[in-house]
Amino acid sequence: MRLLENALEGGKFGVTVEMAPPKGYDFSEQMEAAELLKGKVHGVNVTDMQSACLKATSLGLCIKLKQAGLEPIIQMTGRDRSRMAIMGEMLSAAAFGIDTMLALTGDHPVVGDCKESKPVYDLDSVGILKMLSEMEATGKDCGGNEIAGGAPSFYKGAVVTPVYEPLFLQINKLRQKVDAGAQYIQTQGIFDLESMKRFMDAVDKANIKTHIMAGIIPLKAAGMAKYMNENVPGIAVPQDMIDRLAAAAAEGKEKGVKGLPTKLGIEMAAELIVKIKDAGLCDGVHIMAIGAEKNVPAILEKAGLSV
Amino acid sequence: MIITQKKPIEELMAMIGDAANIAILGCNSCATACATGGEKEIKELSAYLEAHGKKVVATAIGDYCCMNMSTKSCMKKLAAANPDAVVCMSCGDGVQVAAKHINVPVYPSNNTMFLGEALRLGVFEEACHLCGNCVLGKTGGICPISRCAKSLVNGPCGGQKNGKCEVNPENDCAWIMIYNRLEALGQLDKLAQTRDDKGYADVSYPRTINIRGKK
């Protein structure tokens, strides 16, 4: 189907949403959220054990989503798989009609919840993209052997961190990812227009041509924002956003109403999407609701986004 | 230099078990610099073993336990004392060389940690993974294979914060170090090149090298 490719390459504003498989084998919560997202996004981007915490694999949930009529995007990291395992997984994905992927290096096991697991990193994000591009171009596997029936092709993506010092290194790696075959790029969560503008200027200056989708993280509480600022590399939530969330929490407490910060987070996310779209700053948004995918339809509605 | 660290003495004693007559082999090079297998450590271990009911029947120290021919003569001397077991206070390589030359068990007193440098006396830092495809010419003389927790070859991941690594915030991000060094050298253009993927076919273990042209 290649919904995301058709949207981005056709000049439409792309919309994807992130979803994590469960730590377990009951996918019903994910499938309930998926029903709410059907027809509203160009793709559901399924994480590959993000933060190096053990979950069911991306491929498993991707297959379920595909069967339910959604457009899954398979994430593939180099953390747990050799090049053979990555290529084999991608062949299996293709067999289920999964045609869009996102390549990442992957968080180190030491920062996750199975610390004894061996980090593989046979290939990094650039290496994964190069391997798949070569497979598509030659019809051969990672050992140079013919693939029976020809190689599948994927709409390939990668990630970038706009708030990064020195930015030279991010721009440099972005160029390598695009040269290696990345056709779209999604960013780490951004919270203000200015830092996204600075980043997009640097991309333009470096003359890198690709489709960039801004990462949007709807905030749920002031504490969440503070935690991310302190602990998640590349995240910089402005203080006024944190203050507004804290004020909403205080107001809720006073009035005895629950969920005001979450509601505000949805509004702020929608506001940012509208600003990005109106400014023509980038080609789409990627919404990372971190477990609150059910709130995504409300964000899309407030932002006036439809696919 | 091969950096070694002493095993807990309980672990060594458990390996020795019932063996009563013990010989000790030390190493005059890396293990001496690491204070894990020099003259001083041989004396300390001898005293400990004697105090715990063992008899130390012979000791020797090789210049390099990893050199087969010289270790062979050290082991001949130890074997003459008829030990029940040998404790080798070198790196894992020295233990294996020693074990080739005697028909009783050879036990390691050390854990072999890494190939690295002595920053100053008693402080060691890992610096090389023996990958077999040196990239230092392109990375300002700083090794991303051993100094990046993910051994990344195409630049940093998104996990650095203020120049520190997410895996261990005490460590500097290798790629920030490489960037700073290349900038100072006026060689930032070297970062623009994606590394050729060398793969791992040439580094299947164990590797051997023969520069003699004959066996």
Give the pLDDT confidence score for residue B168 in this predicted structure.
93
Residue of A nearest to B164 (CA): A233
Residues B36 and B97 in one domain: yes
Of A105, A131, A172, the CB nearest to B150: A105
Give the pLDDT confidence score for residue A296 in this predicted structure.
96
CB contacts < 8 A (A, B): 70
State the DSSP string of A60-105: HHHHHHHHTT--EEEEEESSS--HHHHHHHHHHHHHTT--EEEEE-
Q: Report, as ranges of residue numbers, the positions in chain B whose pLDDT lies below 70.
A: none
Of B166, B192, B194, the CB nearest to A126: B194
Query: Domain locations in chain A?
Result: 3-298
Please judge whether B155 and A169 are an interchain contact, meaning their C-beta atoms are less than 8 angstroms apart: yes
Please judge whether B192 and A122 are an interchain contact, meaning their C-beta atoms are less than 8 angstroms apart: no
Q: Is residue B213 part of a domain?
A: no
Which residues, other chains included, contact A83 with Cβ-Cβ below 8 Å and sequence gap of 6+? Answer: A122, A123, A127, A131, A142
Q: Is A172 on the interface with B (CB under 8 A)?
A: yes
Residues B133 and B109 in one domain: no
Please give the span between the terminal C-alpha atoms of chain A, in angstroms, as a whole number: 14
Of B152, B158, B191, the CB nearest to A234: B158
Q: Is residue B208 part of a domain?
A: no
Please judge whether B192 and A175 are an interchain contact, meaning their C-beta atoms are less than 8 angstroms apart: yes
Helix (H) or strand (E) holding B3: strand B2-6
Specify the residue for token string 């993974």: B129
Angstroms from B207 CA to nearest CA on chain A: 19
pLDDT tens-digit profile of A219-271? 999 999 999 999 888 899 999 999 999 999 999 999 999 999 999 999 999 99
**The whole model's pTM is what?**
0.92
What is the arithmetic mean of pLDDT over A201-212? 97
Give the pLDDT confidence score for residue B41 in this predicted structure.
98
Of B78, B113, B148, the domain-final residue: B113
Give the pLDDT confidence score for residue B139 in this predicted structure.
95
Find chain A residues with C-beta within 8 A of B159's C-beta: 107-108, 111, 233
Residues B89 and B31 in one domain: yes
Q: Is B161 on the interface with A (CB under 8 A)?
A: yes
Rounded Cα distance, A36 and B64, in Å: 69
What is the interface pTM, i.e. ipTM, of the complex? 0.90
Number of domains chain B contains = 2
Q: Is A48 on the interface with B (CB under 8 A)?
A: no
Rounded Cα distance, B98 and B64, in Å: 11
What is the arithmetic mean of pLDDT over A196-212? 97
Residues B41 and B99 in one domain: yes
Residues B61 and B88 in one domain: yes
Residue A126 clears pLDDT 90, i.e. is over it: yes
Residues B70 and B143 in one domain: no
Q: Is residue B157 part of a domain?
A: yes
Give the pLDDT confidence score for residue B203 in this predicted structure.
81
Please judge whether B157 and A234 are an interchain contact, meaning their C-beta atoms are less than 8 angstroms apart: no
pLDDT tens-digit profile of B138-171? 999 999 999 999 999 999 998 888 899 999 999 9
Residue-number span of the structural domain to which B7 is assigned: 2-113
Indicate the CATH number for domain A3-298.
Answer: 3.20.20.220
Of B83, B113, B143, the domain-final residue: B113
Please judge whether B167 and A108 are an interchain contact, meaning their C-beta atoms are less than 8 angstroms apart: yes
A163 contacts A195 by C-beta, under 8 angstroms: yes
Q: Is residue B118 part of a domain?
A: no
Mean pLDDT of chain A: 96
Angstroms from A186 CA to nearest CA on chain B: 13
Residues B58 and B18 in one domain: yes
Find the CATH number of the domain harbouring B83. 3.40.50.2300
Residues B54 and B90 in one domain: yes
What is the arithmetic mean of pLDDT over A79-97? 98
pLDDT tens-digit profile of B65-85? 999 999 999 999 999 999 999
Q: Is residue B211 part of a domain?
A: no
- Which amino acid does the sequence have at B47? A
Residues B174 and B138 in one domain: yes
